[in-house]
Structures are given as C-alpha cells and as structure tokens.
Structure 1
Amino acid sequence: QSRGDTIIGDAVWIGMRAMIMPGVTIGEGAVIAANSVVTKNVPPYTVVAGAPAKPIKTRFDPETIDKLLALKMYSWDEAKFNALRSFICGNDIEQLIIAESNYKGGECH
C-alpha cells in the first residue's frame, strides 16, 4: 500500500545517512540532521533531528518564514536570481524584499 509521494522542497539540507520515509513532505529551507529518521512532515525552515526526527528549532521567526515563502524565490528565472544575488546572499531579508519589489526585468531600481 502506497503512502503517497515523498516531496522535498527547495533549498533543503539533508544530512548524511538520514532516512526520509515514504509520503513525507519536507518544506522549503528545512534542515534534516545526519542519521535522522523522518516519519512526519517537516515545516518550512525547520531543523529536525533524531530517530524519529523531532523539531529542534526554526531557522527564522514565523513572520520571516512567511515573508521568505511569499517571495517564491525558487521560481525566479536566472536573470532575476542573478540580479538579486547580493541581496539573497546578504543577512538582511527586509532589503531582499525591497529589492525584489523594485526589480524590473533585468535590474534592480
């Protein structure tokens, strides 16, 4: 009997020898610690560890997670991603949001 598809979101880190069980969804930006056994869905930007895996912490506060998900950054085309790369690699998510809202096909304004 199938438990459904296993879905791994964008920008997920999976540690060595971690096992993801059938039918589990791993949210965008989640981190799965090495040797973990993931039996339940993992929310976006959540760090899990253990056997069975349990949430350890979130990478950002809930408001920031919502903002990151709303950006849909992993569906951007290459030109947009490259134009906003310095903001993506920076530590200021608010600046990334502003730059993305000002982006006009090819450059940041």
Structure 2
Amino acid sequence: MMGGNQLHRTDWISAFPFDTRCFVPAGDTIIGDGCWIGSRAMIMQGVKLGEGAIVATGAVVTKDVPPYAVVAGVPAQIMKYRFSPDAIQKLLSARIYDLDEKVLLKIRENLQSDNVDALIEFLQNHTA
C-alpha cells in the first residue's frame, strides 16, 4: 500500500481536495531488486528501498531503507541487517539482479544459502 496522500492539505481551511492544485509531489517511490514487503506495510511517497531490504508486516516506512536492512514498526526503524557490511558490499558489487537468466539458474543453489563468499567465488569462476 502506498502511503502519503498528498491531496489532503492540512494547511488549508478545507482538507478536502476540490481540485488538483492540492497535489504536493513527494518524489518517486523506488523498490530495489530482491526486496520483500510484508502484508499491510505502507511505503510513503519518495522513499527508496535498497536492494534486498525487508519491510516487516504492518510497518510504515517514512525514510529510505539501506540495502539488505530489515525494518519494522511505526514509523519503521532498522532492526538489523541481513549480512555484514562487507558481505553487503560484495553483494551490491556482484550486481546479481543484472545477471542473465541462464546465470541465475546456475547460481540458484548459491542464492539459497547465506554464504556470500561462495556465491562471489562461483561467479568469478563461472561467469567470466
């Protein structure tokens, strides 16, 4: 669910949007590759979810979420990161989501693991 109905201006006498002059753009919402968004979560306008981010069920995300972070709550806060900072940099550098479908099929066993180094090694040895 996208949040942030920008048509209801609380600074006007009537908060009802009689016409489109009320609209205040807040920017594009960007959902990175590999994100998981729990049910009934609300992502506000202009927020960016980094690659691999996880948004907990019912969370209200009002700020950008870094890659591979897990956020929860109202407003959403970072609870933890899925991997170490070093592993996150390796994953981002690997550009997994830009790989050809055939390569993704080759690495699916590595993707179903928490061993980032094994994935990077496989990619270096089998996709060059």
Task: State TM-score, norm by structure 2.
Answer: 0.78
Higher radius of gyration, 1 or 2: 2
CA RMSD after TM alignment: 1.1
Structure 2 CA distance for aligned equivalents of residues 91 and 41 of structure 1: 25
* Identical-residue share of aligned pairs (%): 49
Structure 2 CA distance for aligned equivalents of residues 18 and 89 of structure 1: 25
**Structure 1 equivalent of residue 117 of structure 2:** 94
Aligned residues: 105
**Structure 2 equivalent of residue 70 of structure 1:** 93
Greater strand fraction, Structure 1 or Structure 2: 1
Structure 2 CA distance for aligned equivalents of residues 61 and 15 of structure 1: 23
Q: How far did 1:104 drift? A: 3.8
**Structure 1 equivalent of residue 21 of structure 2:** none
C-alpha change, 1:54 and 1:77, in structure 2 (3 Å) is same
Task: State TM-score, norm by structure 1.
Answer: 0.91
**Structure 1 equivalent of residue 18 of structure 2:** none
**Structure 2 equivalent of residue 28 of structure 1:** 51
1:84 aligns with 2:84: no
**Structure 2 equivalent of residue 48 of structure 1:** 71
Runs of 4+ off more than 6 Å: none
